[in-house]
Structure 1
Amino acid sequence: MEQNKKLKLFISYSHHDEKSYIDQFKKHIHTLKDNGLIEDWYDREILAGEDFQNKINNNLEDADIICLFISKEFLSSPSCKKEKEKALELRKKKGISVIPIILSSCEWLDEEDISKLLALPADGKPISKFEDPDEAWLGVYEGLKKIIEKEIKFKNLKITEEFESFLQDTEMLTNAHSEKERVLLDDIFMPPDLDKFNDLGEHEEISSEELFKKLLDYPRIVIAGENQSGKTSLCKVMFKELRKRNFVPVYISDEKDQFRGRIENKILESFHKQYDDDGFDINEIDKERIIPIIDDFHFAKNKEKHVKDLSVYPRCILIVDDIFSLNIEDEKLLASFTRFKISEFKPTLRNELIKKWRRLTDKEIRDIDYRDIDRTTELIDSTLGETIGKKIMPAYPFFILSAIVTYETLAIPLNQEITSQGYCYEAFIYFYLRKQGVRNDEIDTYMNFLTELAFYFYKEKKYELFPDDFTSFMKLYLEKYNLPIDQKILLKNLSLIVSTDSFNNYSFRYPYLYYFFVAKYLADHLENEGIKEEIEKIMNNLHVNENAYIAVFMSHHSKNIGILCTVERNVRGLFDKYEPATLIKDEVKFFDEQVDKIIEPSLPSVDTTPETERKKRLRTQDKLELSQNAEEQENSDKEDSLGRDLRRAIKTVEVMGTIIKNRAGSLEKTKLEEIFLDGMNLHLRILSSFFDLIKDKEGQEAIIDFISVRLKKIIKESDEKKKELNREDLKKMARMIFWNLNFFIVYGFINKIVHSLGSDKLIKVEEEVCDEVGTPVSFLVKHGILMWYNKNLQVNELAVRIKEKDFSKLAERVSKLMVVDYCSLHPIDYKDRQRIENKLRISTKKLLTRGYKGS
């Protein structure tokens, strides 16, 4: 047998037994060694000067078989106890064979952890009790030989080529990358976060990487996930992980037949398909080592019977669509399962997935291209709905990667009128329909049905339809349209788009599907007077999330300029009593007088990398996104007039920005310039209103006094022993906080303009508008867009403009922070850093601006 087929046998013993027993054992196993079946190791192999304990631990970890030589000396030895515990841990973690070899009479049967193991010689009779010791050792030899032969066959059990291909299959993404011939699951898999539930339904977040490490700590597992959440990919990765640890995972999926028949037969059938088992009987494998992984178990007709039948396997993994869908009567059996649910990808994971995809290549590995990463991130955030409000599409890898692929491979859209982002949504809908077997010549019928259904939801102001409501809709639909498809078949084929809950109520599975079809209905009926009024109402109330999303989706479906004109009229009427802010010296003189209180921006230290800074900010975004998952306040009656107008203004500009980004190549240039200017001016009018609020001296002092009182209380609560600051020191601190807070609000408004309206497809248009306006603030907006979307920092231009007479100290400070922000997130070489320091007078020291989000 080849050298690499040898099994490693670890001998754990008490030194007291070495001469009496271990030497004899080594003599009796020489045939196994000579035949190349094993290589043995024990602590006498350690050479002088080597790390004793480390060597033992490493060889224990590498072992295939561990023999515990049991005697009273072994059981009483602290070091032997540690080796025994480690051996049993490895048996649990890796499935390593642990064999107790009973040397002499002792209380080993009272040792619960080893008494349940198969001991040698037969029946655990101590070697010392045999009249002929050679007979005892022959029994050990034969027993060990059987185990070794079985282990070798087991270790050499290979996965079939066909199943190996399935384990790496990425379905529609397999041939979707422009620089990689075949995309494998190993290329793109990102471990998702999971919610781990307890018996009370409470949950805590863990990463699936942590689950992989501790997989064997959870003998029976249920993992739930929505459609396309990555359940099957997780199954594949767990399968490979378990096989690496010398277990025999068996993957079973049977959606079509709903797991009819005995689950044991399905395991056996799957085993034969997944392993090259020539000469190997599954019955030879201990049940402890076989781990069934049952995918789509929610389709099973007789769940309780299957779960009971699976109880013969100490370990199993069930995959379902809902965490509470394992509805069985046996409470004890149910309680034996640990439940997990797949979470959507947070910004950090989305970023890692995008980077993974972007760096895929069959050639040499490429460096990170931040322009490409940032452009793709913005595209995905927009597609998920993040830029407007709450997500409208789940942030699972399928949706993220499919969206990237759809944009990249966009050739001739299915609908010539639709935008590229609209085509992305449409592509998902076509995917759902085709996955259910809908023929091309039937798609128009399905699209029409969905459009009418969505508008019925909208008109009735409902997010779900009760069965009677749905019956009413069907009656109206059949009066209006011919339906050449049986209603039951139609609803079955729409199950990935329109779902029914456990109360038999109907709803669109994801919000983006609802908005897509409502907008399609409106866009298809623009000539109808009632629809025109509805659209006017939507455009007048873009602060409501539903209206904002419908408006954006309408821009995907229709190039009708009237929709944009309505939005523009609304924009011009908001905060119209204020002139747009300019940040010229005369306008912000009151702010310039306080600029010495604002923290001076500093370039990041040389040991701070863009990657570490980006990760910090992404972690902050994770927390922000988590906090925003709660339902947004939609009831405008609970907001004061200013709050409502502010929300409406910000949302309206977001909608305008999304529209011009989507229509960057199909709207006339003059219209793009007009919309960009209107959006920028609205934000600058809000900024003017903010200046009006803070420049009043009495108002300033009142706020500063309030901050002083709060500071005093915070300091006292945080450290009772700390000496109290006097009133003057408190006021000084409060004044610093007040003006720094105001500064970051100004900076935030400019950043909001850059990211709401900026685009790499509109840079020339936006440059021309900003240059024509010619104010310090328009100059900052222009360079913010150039920095973020073009990755172009124009140091000389900034240095020259800062020195001009109208350029305020506030504008200068904002420009410096923009530069620092850019340098924190992008690699800057030494020469360029020196130029920034010299030209813009920005020093390099410890970064003080980590607390804000630069986007």
Structure 2
Amino acid sequence: MEISSGVSIFYSYSHKDERFCETLRAHLSVLERKEVISSWYDRKIKPGQLWQREIDTNIKRADIIVLLVSADFVASDYCYQEELQIAMERHEANQAIVVPVVVRPVDFSETPFSKIQALPKDAYPITKWNDEDEAWINVVEGIKSAINEVRFLKKRGGSDEGFRSINHYLVRELDSLEGAFEADGSNATNRGLSTGLFDLDRVTDGLHKSDFIAIAGRPGMGKTDLALKIACNAVIAEKKSVGYFSLNLPVDRLMRKMLSALGRLPVHKLFRGDLEEDDWPRLTSAVSLLKDLPLYIDDNISLSIDELRNRAIKTKEDKNVELIIVDSLQHMDFNSEHATPESISKVISRLARELKIPIIATTTISRDVEGRPNKRPLTRDLGAWRCLEEDADTMIFVYRDEVYNEDSVDNGVTELIVAKNSSASSIGTVKVFYTPGTCSFDNFLDD
């Protein structure tokens, strides 16, 4: 029988673990009663039905496949060789979400699902918890997160609609061109979201929907201040909602940087609280600019890529953010076995397409660049993050010559080197003013 209402859940388990299936269904009963979810397990097979056909039909239609993991599950030929194979194929094809739930102690390190984040917390078996109900509540919270992700993906249109005629896309493209043609102001020639830096917009055509933009450079080049410049421009000038993941700096330091840049106040004064009378009007002005704006900051320092993805999806759904910034990739949680720069890069790239918004990520490049006479970064300097060269739609390096050359003629100038640009196909170097003391980036006016 086909599951038709809400988010469909398929339970895969050994019959020796049937009590765990019943307990989990009881904890999710409120969601099923509200038709948020519908569930299927093999006890729903009716007399006279072909049991294998019913199992295959429902597992291939499920949105979420819950594996109740135990030694008996791993030992079951049907669970392991039949149901698990279908589940993993659909999970890897992004057709379903597989959620392993460890109910009894078992070594599953060599199983196909070993790289998927398991429940409950730390994959600690249900039966080993002092209070099994607390363990199940932890499991339910994880499954709810998966449910929210599925519901969001079902709501969004576009790529889930399958094949569409060429006329559909021609109309959409002409509408977009017409909107760009009729746009007012300095951003009239850019079809993407403005960064607030005109020369950078001219080269990149702005920040396009579904694009993954990587910003990289050595420490001290101003990557975070550049990310904050773009975020503030988006919320203040462009009237867009922004989600900002700060994996390195706590939110209080971010606030001081933003207030410093907007108020043209030396950041050290804000860190020390050493303000003079003349500084207060500028601070008040900066606070007024930021007050009540839709800028949402997450400064969790131990986010895994799965947690970041789930939070980004929820923020998009709840706050309708139109830009997400991830600062700094090198501080992601790499504790799980499958957390590698390659996997993180690909997840963010796909996430930008799923959410249909630009996602900016910053990262530090290898110190190898400092061994060359010309220290301007190249893609090979990405080191462990060389995957960004392939996965990012736009690649921007940040370079300050004065960091290496005290007598540089470009004192106070930062080069933004656009090394890759899939949206507008134009690359090159643009110059902007950067004042580290006030954390501020400004347009460069060359006389």
Q: What TM-score results when the alignment is normalised by the length of structure 1?
A: 0.23
Q: Which of structures 1 and 2 has the larger relative contact order (alpha carbons within 8 angstroms, sep 6+)? A: 2
As a proportion of its length, which structure holds more helix? 1
As a proportion of its length, which structure holds more strand? 2
